[in-house]
Amino acid sequence: MAQSSVTEAGANTAEAFWKSIAWGMSLESATVGVLVVTLVILYFLSLARERKDLPPGPLPWPVVGNLVDLASGGLPHIFLTKLASKYGGLMYLRLGSKPCIVISSAAAAKEMFRKSNEANFSSKNKGLFIEIISDNYRTLAHSPYGPHWRQLRRFVTSELFSPKRHASYQNAREDELRNMMRVLSEDCAKGDALKNLKSWFRELNANLMTKMLFNKSGDACREERMELEQSFEAILTTSMKSAVGDYIPSLRFITKLQGVDRAFKDLRDLWIQIGGKFMELEERRTSRADDHKQFQPDFVDLILAEPLDNGKPMSDTTLALQIMEFLFAGTDTGATVSEWAVAEVIGNPQVLKQAREELDAVVGGDRLMQESDIPNLPFLEAIVKEAFRLHPPVAVTLNRLAVEPAEAWGYTIPAGSQLTVNMYAIHRDPEVYENPDEFNPQRFIDRPEVNHLSGFDSYELIPFGLGRRMCPGANLGNTMVSLMLGNLIHSFDWSLPNEQSLESFRRDNKEERFGVMSTRKEPLVLVARPRDNVASC
């Protein structure tokens, strides 16, 4: 009897013990649950206060903000366009700790870059890649808006891109075009008519840029030009590497652990090396000193002598990176748009037929199309505009900065905001363009007043950027795309390789490669044959 009582008492004690443990655990769980709910409520209350006067946008995650959404969304310009269809043409994201305003409609672009805001938005966003590749923000594309940038911009515009300079290089443009048309004709004569057009466009543009910058023919820089093309592929991939420390400063160590900063520095060193080969600085300094009477300065000589960096000439390092910046912008962007343009025309036989009829009527059959023909070729001009609309070289720019707080449509734009201009979305704005995904040059025949070379007026078509930071070489780029496209349509018949069907070609033509530029996923390869009774060189 006593033994039974002891056993029963022990069981009761054990039961009480486990009940107390279970009660304690449930109390702890309840406490944790209440704490989590409280923190979530506080986070969303804080978020609501923070976003009170900001444009609409998706809710950010704690710490990382909307970086997770962007990282998992595929091609950035397409993902941001889908978001804009829900949140509107002016959208707010938070990238880590950095506020970001995404501009995705023509009306939003016009509002954001109105006169009272434009100067405030003329500086560039900073980041590790830009810092390294621009020699600490010293080159034209990446300098902060201010005295250094204005002086450099004036000099470059005057010596490279002014109307007078543009006219002075007309013979050089037509000579280089004639040479490359001859190369294409000779390939056809040898039966080697399968052409990678991106490479052809790049070579032609690179030849012209070497003439403008160094007064050298393409043959004189063949080795450097091959290295230049290889470096283009490097920058298209390296620049897309994520430097998470740009957005979450406390995680800068991850950038180093991933080797991202080393990759950026390797690309910078490659650019300095190639730029140095092109410029031959020691040789030109020696020849200038030895024979100053016979010395004929080119652009590099002029910029070497100009006090553009706090009253001093550019350092050799900055100059090499600046020259490579010009070569990249003047070569690859035009080649990218031209490749897309040819693909769109080949995929639309009626457009090809109409363009060729116009060219035959204006140019005839005994010569190449020339720059003087362009004003008389409105349908070709409409094709070029439509190509720039559907395929701007840089579909989404991440590099504008709001230096001071601003206001747009009643919303607050915080100081320090990154301004992202989604040209892909703006150029497909359904409020402006009917059937915006369709390649239809007729839309610009009906609206010839749309000026894609302005940067201040036609906000619905801005392939060269906006405001005072728009590309200074816009006129040159447009001229080269028009010349290359017009002559290829006029002088050659084009067909698809390997008996590919037109439907299959059109389907493939929509595929893009992930990168800083909107390039085709696969290079455009076509079969060329000179047209009968039409000059091809």
**Residue 471 annotated as lining a ligand binding site:** yes
- The Cα 136–Cα 469 span in angstroms is 18
pLDDT at position 35 is 59
pLDDT at position 519 is 87
- Cα 146–Cα 147–Cα 149 angle in degrees, nearest 5: 70
Sheet holding 492-495, edge to edge: 194-196, 525-530, 492-495
DSSP 314: P
In three-state secondary structure terms, 100 is strand
Instruction: Pick the closest to residue 56 from 77, 84, 76 (CA basis).
Output: 84
pLDDT at position 47 is 56
Q: Mind listing the pLDDT tens digit for each residue in 475-489?
A: 999 999 999 999 999
Domain boundaries, the chain: 67-530
CB atoms within 10 A of CB 254: 14
Q: Tell me which fold the domain 67-530 belongs to.
A: Cytochrome p450 (1.10.630)
pLDDT in tens, the chain (537 residues): 444 554 565 556 666 655 666 665 665 565 656 555 555 555 555 555 666 799 999 999 888 899 988 888 788 899 999 999 999 999 999 999 899 999 999 999 999 999 889 999 999 988 999 999 999 999 999 999 999 999 999 999 999 999 999 999 999 999 999 999 999 998 888 876 778 899 999 999 999 999 999 988 766 677 887 888 888 778 777 876 777 888 888 888 887 888 888 999 999 999 999 999 999 888 887 776 665 555 678 899 999 999 998 889 999 999 999 999 999 999 999 999 999 999 999 999 999 999 999 999 999 999 999 999 999 999 999 999 999 999 998 999 877 999 999 999 999 999 999 999 999 999 999 999 999 999 999 999 999 999 999 878 889 999 999 889 999 999 999 999 999 999 999 999 999 988 788 888 888 777 888 777 788 888 898 999 999 888 887
- The Cα 438–Cα 506 span in angstroms is 11
CA-only gyration radius of the chain, Å: 29
Under a CB-based contact definition with an 8 Å cutoff, are residues 502 and 401 in contact? no
Instruction: Pick the closest to residue 411 from 89, 180, 62 (CA basis).
Output: 89
Helix intervals (H) in 297-433: 299-305, 316-346, 349-363, 378-390, 423-426
Pairing status of strand 525-530 against strand 194-196? antiparallel
What H or E segment, with its residue span, contains residue 519? Answer: strand 519-520
Q: What are phi and psi of 271, to 5 degrees?
A: -65, -40
Beta-ladder partners of 85: none
In three-state secondary structure terms, 521 is coil
Contacts of 433 (CB under 8 A, 6+ apart): 389, 427, 443, 460
